A and B are shown apart, each in its own frame.
Chain A
Amino acid sequence: MERTSRTGALVTALTCCALLVAACGADETPQETAVGEDVDNPGEAADEAADPDPEDAVDADDAEVTVEHVQGETTVETEPEVVVTFDVGTLDTLDAMGVPVAGVPEVANVPAHLEEYAGGETSIVGSLFEPDPEEVNALDPDLIIVGGRSSEAFGELSELAPTVDLTVDNTDFLNSFGEQLGVLGEIFDREEWVEERLAVLDERVGEVSALADDAGDGLIVMTSGGEVTAYGPGSRFGLIHKDLGVAPAVEDVEEATHGDAVSFEFILEAEPDHLFVLDRDAAIGETGEAAEAVLDNELVAQTPAWENGDVHYLDEVVWYLVPTGLRSVETMVDEIDAALR
């Protein structure tokens, strides 16, 4: 009798554990995916540098520069020839600079102007989160760039070649972005070019902020799988509030950098004059319900933004996947400019 009951207890405890594991599993999946957001972007291929810039090749005289970046200081050969970047934003910037890139990660959705890097010319050196050391090594790079989603690979990659982390700080987006651009300017000896582009950008930002002063407030939301999350000034889309000066319709969303799940009542009560919408399902190539369909309901219809036709669907690839490239930032500023006019 005693024995049976003890076995019974043991067995019960075991099931209990198993059930807990099952339940936890169910709960954790979304969180894991939330942290690893956008991991799952199998993409396209590529290989050699598309248009080698003769100037860069000639000038390979082993001059070095020590640059400061997010994870310390790194000494890099100036105008490195073989460049691998795990940061798609940087790829965008390098492409704008005319610097050839030898290796990029596998990404599903790239902006149209970067498609050549996904089409077979450039080497694929792993995914955003998992670099493939062998592929990287095979290229024998002079410089590796990480940033954002790939910044955790810094340690592993810096053993292979000089590596810099150009992660942009979302809480101070434009300044941080300018600094990272400055680092690229130093390494590739394009300081003037960088300064010019930044000056132009600055001017545009000023123009948009002036518009924002009279445009009312705004709320940034993202839709995914039929559900809605709200983003504030401290978030990855904080540029809209902090740099471009659109007043946040809800002050305290600030706290959450990863977005807060909200109900449609929340949107109704926020009464935003502008609704900035990002369709994540579209951004990562999923076939979810379109943002338009999710937001098209009685509650959202009552907001000033909906009534005045001020619901702005942001370019999901630029805002969600490649927000830190030079041309991306320029596009983002243009989009908000158009939205506020």
Chain B
Amino acid sequence: MPGARARAASRTRGVRRWHLVAGALVLAAAAGASLFVGVTDLGPRDLVVGDDREAMVFLASRVPRLVAILLAGASMSVAGLIMQHLARNRFVAPSTAGTVESAMLGVVVATLLFTGASLVVKMAIAVAFALAGTAIFLALLRRITFRDVILVPLVGLMFGGVIRALTTFVAYRVDLLQTLSSWTTGDFSGVLRGRYELLWLAAVVAVIAYTYADRFTMAGMGRDLSVSLGLAYERTVNVGLAIVATVTGVTVVVVGAVPFLGLIVPNLVTMALGDNLRRALPLTALSGAAFVLACDVIGRTIRFPYEMPVGTVVGVVGSAIFLLLITRGRHRAR
């Protein structure tokens, strides 16, 4: 019997590795190809024989954009996965729990209070708001006795709606509505060398998440069980909250909100790999990066040489995938 279990475990590990290697290879290839998609006519050959200008475009525009896409995609998906464990619900992600909306409110408040504030200050305030908003959501959840799978994200959506309304109201009163729209739709068109580097912070935070992976998995089994297993439950939840809020705040400030990302990518991955966070995290990060990359390339080419914001493309592709997920899931249940 133990032999069978060991065999099964090693098989899963094999599957995990295979997934990861294949995913990384596909992503690397796609990433490489995406470097040569853009308004400037630039092929791999030009990098070798090209002039200064081509090198400049490559280093100042193409590479930063790719890095920003990978960082944002990976970290937002990881944040979504953690969120799903903390709330013990598959439909809870930063975009369905008021986190994104809170971060936006934070940006508006930052813009208001500190006119011309540096990006770092704006970000810090956005993160603080995202943290507070998510904490309020989790506190709300604790008060709900009937914790239905669907009720929880609905509460999150309503909560997010209230915050969004508040944000819109404030923005309207102080003439920030137009600027608000540039944060509500994720967009990489403005990414250049020197204008996205804060995203590395989100990546660092996502890596920290990996060291906490087992504790999040445990927390995902519920407070009582995890406490009885010796987990410092509150602290784990707080760390998770901080990670989710930081990633969301940073991404909203640098590129804007990307809908669905934290929702569908973790769901797809856990469908394949199960709920062990340590196992699912790397592939989640990979898939998230790949998904955003694909959507941005679509956005860049669909109306070439003009741009379609990545937030819009993800919204369309993401909702299709999500519908597919739900209908397929239902079939399987029967």
Contact B116 A286 (CB under 8 A): no
> With A8-B333, A268-B40, A269-B39 in contact, do A261 and B308 touch (Cβ < 8 Å)?
yes
Q: How far is A42 from B173 in the complex, measured between Cα atoms in Å? A: 8
Which B residues lie within 8 Å of A27 (CB)? 185, 259, 311-312, 315
Task: Give the segment of B73-81, B175-183, B217-225 that binds chain A.
Answer: B175-183
- Jot down 18 A-B pairs with beta carbons below 8 A, ordered by A: A12-B330, A14-B154, A15-B153, A18-B157, A19-B96, A26-B185, A26-B315, A27-B185, A27-B311, A30-B182, A30-B185, A225-B179, A227-B190, A261-B189, A261-B307, A268-B39, A268-B40, A286-B179
Q: Which of these, A5, A263, A280, A286, contacts B61 with CB under 8 Å? A: A263
Residue of A nearest to B264 (CB): A19
Which B residues lie within 8 Å of A11 (CB)? 148-150
A288 to chain B, nearest CB (A): 5
Q: Is A226 in the interface zone, CB < 8 Å from B?
A: yes
Task: Give the segment of B52-60, B138-146, B206-214 that binds chain A.
Answer: B52-60
Interface 0/1 of A1-38, CB less than 8 Å to B? 00001001101111110111111111101100110010
Q: Is A260 in the interface zone, CB < 8 Å from B?
A: yes
The majority secondary structure among interface residues of chain A is helix
Q: How far is A22 from B160 in the complex, measured between Cα atoms in Å? A: 9
Which B residues lie within 8 Å of A219 (CB)? none
Which B residues lie within 8 Å of A266 (CB)? 39, 305-306
A326 to chain B, nearest CB (A): 27
Q: Is A284 in the interface zone, CB < 8 Å from B?
A: yes
Which B residues lie within 8 Å of A18 (CB)? 153-154, 157
B116 to chain A, nearest CB (A): 7
Q: How far is A256 from B307 in the complex, measured between Cα atoms in Å? A: 13
Q: Is A308 in the interface zone, CB < 8 Å from B?
A: no
Report the 5 A-B pairs with minimum CB-CB distance, sorted nearest first: A225-B182, A30-B181, A260-B306, A265-B39, A11-B150
Q: Is B36 in the interface zone, CB < 8 Å from A?
A: no
Q: Is A40 in the interface zone, CB < 8 Å from B?
A: yes
Q: Which of these, A22, A24, A34, A40, contacts B175 with CB under 8 Å? A: A40
A225 to chain B, nearest CB (A): 3
Q: Is A60 in the interface zone, CB < 8 Å from B?
A: no
Which B residues lie within 8 Å of A256 (CB)? 306
Q: Is A302 in the interface zone, CB < 8 Å from B?
A: yes
Contact B260 A23 (CB under 8 A): yes
Mark out the residues of chain A between 214 and 229 whose CB falls within 8 Å of any chain B CB in the assembled complex.
Answer: 224-228
Q: Which of these, B150, B178, B307, contacts A286 with CB under 8 Å? A: B178
Most chain B beta-carbon contacts within 10 A, residue among A12, A34, A263: A263
Contact A15 B150 (CB under 8 A): yes
Which B residues lie within 8 Å of A265 (CB)? 38-40, 57, 61
Q: Is B329 in the interface zone, CB < 8 Å from A?
A: yes
Interface 0/1 of B157-184, CB less than 8 Å to A? 1001100100010001101111111111
Residue of B nearest to A41 (CB): B175
